[in-house]
Structure 1
Amino acid sequence: MRTFSFKERNQLLEHLGDTNYDVIIVGGGITGTGIALDCVTRGLKTLLVEMQDFAAGTSSRSTKLVHGGLRYLKQFEVGMVSEVGKERAIVYENAPHVTHPEWMLLPIYKKGTFGKFSTSAGLRVYDFLAGVKRDERRRMLTREETLAKEPLLKKDGLLGSGYYVEYRTDDARLTIEVAKKAFEKGADLLNYTKVEGFLYEDGNISGVKVRDVLTDQRYEAVGRKVVNATGPWVESLIEKDIEVKGKGLTHTKGVHIVIDQGVFPLRQAIYFDTLDGRMVFAIPRDGKTYVGTTDTFFDGDLKNPPITEEDKEYLLSCIEFMFPELDLTIDDIESGWSGVRPLIQEKGKGPSEISRKDEIWISDTGLITIAGGKLTGYRKMAETVTDMLAQKLEEEGVQSGQCVTKNLRLSGGDFTSPRDYDLFVDQKSRELQALGLDEQEARKMAATYGTNADILASLKEDVLPDGDLPLAIKLLVYYAMMYEMAITPEDFFTRRTGASLFNVDWKKKWEQAVTVYMKQLADRHK
């Protein structure tokens, strides 16, 4: 039986040239994995290759919200608000273990960007366009009700607030769950496998030349259609094609910072406007508060976009503006992340004004490129691309089915309804405690992995008995390597657990022991 493991990765590479694929997708972020899932569930033989780890780029560096696009209402992008709002509900239904309702305060101030009437009307329109459920529709709060929700808010000029629901997510884990589901349905997925060129037949792209980044071995994969879903790297991949043709991208950088709630004790998620007219989120999570994002043009290192002192100072000034009772400094910043957004060029517009809509184009050699778009709309983008693929493949005699992802539960999300999730966490955490985990470890494991917690519970006899790690961490590491294709400690700490961002002390404490344990597991399962 196949498992989504580092071991399976090696076997896939060895036999890569033996398979003729219908579709090869380049890029293992949320867009690429979404396309892989849609393709394979329509019966298409599908391969996905990613030069880093899954979600290592933009898909692990967002504001970590599956949101309905309220900011786009301000830009009069009504269609986008309607679409992403409805897609948000679909993501929640299919993955309640990685998508959680989060009530958000939108404070209203004298001489602020939003007035009481415009906020109330805007949120009402938003509820309608996004198809918001009755119990999650907006409310308007008084000044006193607003401060009761969040006492740290600036009091001078405060009139009240809008109160509405966004959906908090772990963007990297959402991407991993999509990838795992695609693999479960029969797709082949490879991380740390870089496309370095294309294969051609009669002037059309017929496959890819790839390099295993870990071993430097070269391979080839043959496919009828190739999709470029590499996010900020789409132009880099287009340049490898003999027919270079693109729309023209611009990159903007978004930075978030993380501060311990001991010094920033935020109770309530806030979406607020800043002195320069932008909108910024402040969100409590796992004992921390994170704040972001910046939005600046960027033309530097796409893999490791830096967090500059200027970025930090800007976000600290935003915090000082909205939460003046705090006295935070750069030293209070525990961690952060910086991501690059690939956006379609629009002359004369600033970074925050450029549309987040997605676009698709095709080169004369047949390379299909998708760029732009939002995390929330990944499934719909994938459906659009796969519809195009299905039509082109049908012309070549390859039949495929209809899109089924709208009602397809993601890996770990096998609940009849999201309402079952809380009960499941209660029951499963008790089972995990019976294995020897403490209550906090057990609840977090059940909550994070959803119905896949059943697999973790079955692994006690498989983990290595020796070593310096507690059972809970051994289970997490083993599962990450054998069921989530984690290869490096960074994969585990950043994209499988999020500890690099939200549990820095835990990462520092266990990093060396986890590194040793991962090597032991890799040697054992060669």
Structure 2
Amino acid sequence: MSTPFSVSSRSALFTQLSDSLFDVLIIGGGITGAGILLDATARGMRAALVEMQDFAAGTSNRSSKLVHGGLRYLKQLEVGLVAEVGRERAIVYENGPHITTPIWMLLPILADGTYGWWTTSFGIFLYDRLAGVRRHERRKMLRRKEALAKEPLLRPDVLGAGYYVEYRTDDARLTLEILKAAVERGGIAVNYARAERLLYEHGRVVGATVCDGLTGRRHEVRARKVVNAAGPWVDELREWDGSKSGKTLHHTKGVHIVVDGSRFPLQNAVYFDVPDGRMVFAMPRAGKTYVGTTDTDYDGDLARPRMTVEDVDYLVRCVNFMFPSVHLTSGDVESGWAGVRPLIHEAGKSPSEISRRDEVFVSPSGLISIAGGKLTGYRKMADKVVSLVARELAKAGVGPFPDCSTAHIPYSGGDVGGSARFPGFVARMADEGARLGLDWDAALQVAQTYGSNTDKVFAVLADAGGQAESYGLPRDLYARLVYGLEAEMVVKPSDFFVRRTGMMYFDMDGVRRYRDGVLACMADWLGWDAAVYAEMEAELAQSLEDATVPLGAGDRPRPANSSPHAG
């Protein structure tokens, strides 16, 4: 099942990159770059994307994993932003119901909290109307007994709670499915392809030198327009271009921690006040509960932000503030992740106060850079950039190209007839998986994860599912791995464990149990020699270390109201 998004296609893709003239070259394979690639290919542009790490390896895999309307932005009077992203989340849900799930969320009301009863009621009412929330998902207001019945772990002195719908997602798979949809339309996307310098002719940017991170070979990629969608590295590319002036990025770090559901048995998603004035999410998922996020200034390694003792202690205190009966300790934390937010700097504002709006910069050389923004608003950001590219190309006599149409394009795996038909589709596919010998629950999880691509995952079982036992892997995990190699450009073991399955965050025991089998299977598929095997084994060990809670968390108590995360 070799596809244009197969790891075995990389050599041919680099040849295409070297031999073609593209209408647009996109540098950066996070959610923003993915959205731009899909929009450009949907309009008929010849488009390519290069990513120096794995797809979504940066910010787009380290969010709160919510496609949400940004209720807290009402507090900052960002009414337009709330309205825009609220409408966009409905589009994301319809285009990819397999990676977006509506969930009811509690907003507890405290006597000294951010919002009182009437403020909360009006705020969520306004939020629902601005976001265009469907009638059956509009907010409800719960009195104290009702709120505690919904979530018994809440602190007993809550006055009540708002109850409203948000949308949970898998941020890495959302990015991946958008990229796959673009590739299915003729786009080119390659991971571990680092842009090393920009190419110029007569003072205009005309492409980039790209290095294949696996072979070390360099390729000159030519394009009429170059888009810098490098997330936290946007300013680095602007420096290459000599155009870093005016507004610049402000990096902040956000950390999430994961606790087993048996230790923190949260029944509902909760968005709650903490003593320093911030608000934090606690979310049940896959038998775990994850909590985040922090918001602190960051000037460290952009490729490898880490949780610190202070980060973990802070979030543990946040849990114990709202859920005092849990008595959480840092020792209960199984895993976590840290991400860097590339925000537009605003002088005098704390990290939590900086707007999440996006900004587009066009340099004298013609380099187009986009920074800031939110996961939920990726499609509007892409529309803004690609429409600009289309206008610029028209000036050069290339085109014309139509307007944005991505509101109506399902993601890869999203062709299931819309969100209303998705539950029935999943049930049918789970039955099919059971007929192939999978445990019904495992088949259900595959169907929920891969949507209309589930039949391709099941085809692996039909063709070679018996090989799973030779690697000591469950049949469903083996099928997902082979599909990842053939259709999702899995290059390294962390690509699979972190961004294709999420196991690194939500099933660390499974990673440790099956890592040898996954390494052995990948070695056979990709023809690794002993040196490459050792390199990949070390790479996976590094990913495990990054997701592990730092030693010493909880050993340095601070005054109850002391926090490095105030905002």
If the length of structure 2 is used for normalisation, what is the TM-score? 0.91
- Report the 3-state secondary structure (helix = DSSP H, G, I; strand = E; otherwise coil) of the residue aligned with 2:489: coil
1:32–1:413: structure 2 CA closer, same or farther, 3 Å change rule?
same
**1:496 aligned residue:** 500
Write the distance in 1 (CA, Å) between the matches of 2:254 and 2:151: 26
Deviation for aligned residue 1:325: 0.8
Structure 1: how far apart are the matches of 2:435 and 2:375? 37
Contact 1:204 1:365 in 2 (8 A): yes
Amino acid paired to 1:409 = P
Residue in 1 that maps onto 2:29: 28
d(CA) in 1 for partners of 2:299 and 2:170?
27
Relative to structure 1, the CA distance from residue 121 to residue 186 in structure 2 (aligned partners, 3 Å threshold; closer, same or farther) is same
- For residue 304 of structure 2, what is the aligned residue in structure 1? 304
Aligned residue in 2 for 1:5? 6
Per the alignment, residue 178 of structure 2 pairs with 178
Over residues 46-68 of structure 1, what are the superposed CA-to-partner deviations in whole Å (9 max), with x where a residue is unaligned?
A: 00000000000000000000001
User: What root-mean-square deviation, in Å, do the aligned CA atoms of Structure 1 and Structure 2 show?
Assistant: 1.2
Instruction: Map 1:25-424 to 2 at 5 A.
Output: 25-156=26-157, 158-245=158-245, 247-399=247-399, 400-424=401-425
Quote the offset at 1:469 in angstroms: 2.1
Deviation readout 1:62-86 (Å, 9 max, x if unpaired) = 0000001101111000100000000
Measured after TM superposition, the shift of residue 430 of structure 1 is 0.8
CA distance in 2, matches of 1:423, 1:391: 43
Note the C-alpha offset of 1:3: 3.2
Moved more, 10-19 or 162-171: 10-19
Other-structure match for 1:523: 527
Range with bigger deviation, 395-404 or 466-475: 466-475
- SS of alignment partner, residue 97 of structure 2: coil
Measured against aligned partners, the alpha-carbon deviations of 1:309-337 in whole angstroms (never above 9, x if no partner) come to: 00001001101110111111111000000
Give 2:488's aligned residue. 484
Pairs within 5 Å for 1:457-468: 457-460=458-461, 461-462=463-464, 465=467, 466-468=470-472
CA contact (8 A) 1:254 1:341 kept: yes
**Worse overlay, 490-499 or 468-477:** 468-477
Deviation at 1:421, TM superposition (A): 0.8
CA distance in 2, matches of 1:104, 1:362: 40
Q: Output the CA distance in 2 between the equivalents of 1:520 and 1:51.
A: 25
* Secondary structure at 2:413 match in 1: coil
Q: Alignment partner of 1:237: what SS?
A: helix
2:471–2:518 contact (8 Å) kept in structure 1: no
Number of residue pairs the alignment of both structures matches: 523
The residue identity in structure 2 corresponding to 1:80 is L
Partner SS for 1:210: strand
Distance in 1, Cα, partners of 2:203 & 2:71:
45
Deviation at 1:415, TM superposition (A): 2.0
SS at match of 1:352: helix
Shift of residue 15 of structure 1?
Answer: 3.4
Report deviation, 1:244.
4.1
Q: Aligned AA for 2:366?
A: G
Find the aligned partners of 1:471 and 1:280 in 2 and give their Cα distance: 38
- Cα-to-partner distance string for 1:442-486 (whole Å, 9 max, x where unaligned): 010001100100111222315673432232121111001110001
Distance 1:444 1:104 in 2: 23
Aligned-pair CA distance for 1:166:
0.4
> Which amino acid in 2 is paired with 1:390?
A
Q: Name the amino acid aligned to 1:350.
A: S
Q: In 2, distance between residues paired with 1:20 and 1:231?
A: 25
Quote the offset at 1:16 in angstroms: 2.1
Does the CA-based 8 Å contact 1:68-1:88 persist in structure 2? Answer: yes
Any idea what SS the aligned residue of 2:23 has?
strand
Deviation for aligned residue 1:110: 1.1
Counterpart code for 1:216: G
Rounded to whole Å, the distance in 2 between the matches of 1:453 and 1:516 is: 24
2: CA distance, partners of 1:42 / 1:464: 43
Aligned identity (percent) is 54
Distance 1:200 1:316, change over 3 A: same
User: What is the letter of the counterpart of residue 69 of structure 2?
Assistant: G
Q: Per-residue deviation at 1:289? A: 0.4
Cα distance between partner residues in 2 of 1:9 and 1:375: 28
Q: Which runs of 4+ in 1 moved over 6 A?
A: none
Query: Given the superposition, is the C-alpha separation of residues 43 and 115 from structure 1 closer, same or farther in structure 2, using an over 3 Å criterion?
Result: same
Instruction: Judge which range, 163-172 or 401-410, deviates more.
Output: 401-410
Quick check: 1:475 aligned with 2:475? Answer: no
Distance 1:269 1:15 in 2: 46
Q: Is the 8 A contact 1:235 1:246 kept in 2?
A: no
| 1:129-169 CA-partner distances (Å, limit 9, x unpaired) | 1111000101100101100000010012x111100000000
CA distance in 1, matches of 2:408, 2:21: 29
What one-letter code is carried by the residue in structure 1 that aligns with 2:194? K
Task: State the shift of 1:2 in Å.
Answer: 3.7
Give the conservation status (yes or no) of the 8 Å contact 1:441–1:472: yes
Distance 2:87 2:421 in 1: 21
The structure-2 alpha-carbon separation of the partners of 1:49 and 1:398, relative to structure 1 and needing over 3 Å to count, comes to same
Give the whole-Å Cα distance in 1 for the aligned partners of 2:464 and 2:17.
Answer: 29
> CA contact under 8 A between 1:238 and 1:246: conserved in structure 2?
no
The secondary structure found in structure 1 opposite 2:101 is strand
Task: Specify the code of the residue in structure 2 equivalent to 1:364.
Answer: P
